[in-house]
Amino acid sequence: QAQLLESGGGSVQTGGSLRLSCPAAWFTVRKYALAWYRQSPAKEREGVAAIDTGSGNTYYADSVKGRFIISLDNAKNTLYLEMNMLQPEDTAVYYCAATPPGINSRYIFDADLYNRWGQGTQVTVSS
């Protein structure tokens, strides 16, 4: 069974940084489209960053553009999300997800298209 396991969450103050990691077990991440989602009790699940290894393109939600960076380390078979200039509204549980590559960019954040999900890691930003 393919497995994703997020880590790197924690508590930081406004303006701080965190880097989330998502190593994959049982499948090769460079052969998949990969994304980071987040969900808080007050909001619906939101796709924040994605990378399509088929095209090499990266995608970001407007709310994180310029602050978050998604990257892939093929040697470590690990997906990362570097989060900078964190704000209280970034507080959420963050999940990584994977699916076979080739998603139309218009649907890159359609959660129904992702068939592998991690358990989530909590990120809390205090003001």
Taking only the tens place, the pLDDT of each residue in 90-113 is 999 999 999 888 788 899 999 999
How far is residue 71 from each of residues 13, 77, 119, measured CA to CA in Å? Answer: 24, 11, 19
More confident site: 54 or 17: 17
Confidence check: pLDDT of 32 > 80: yes
Give the mean pLDDT of the chain: 92
Specify the pLDDT at position 1. 53
Specify the pLDDT at position 104. 85
Pairing of strands 10-13, 121-126: parallel
Report the pLDDT averaged over residues 109-126.
95
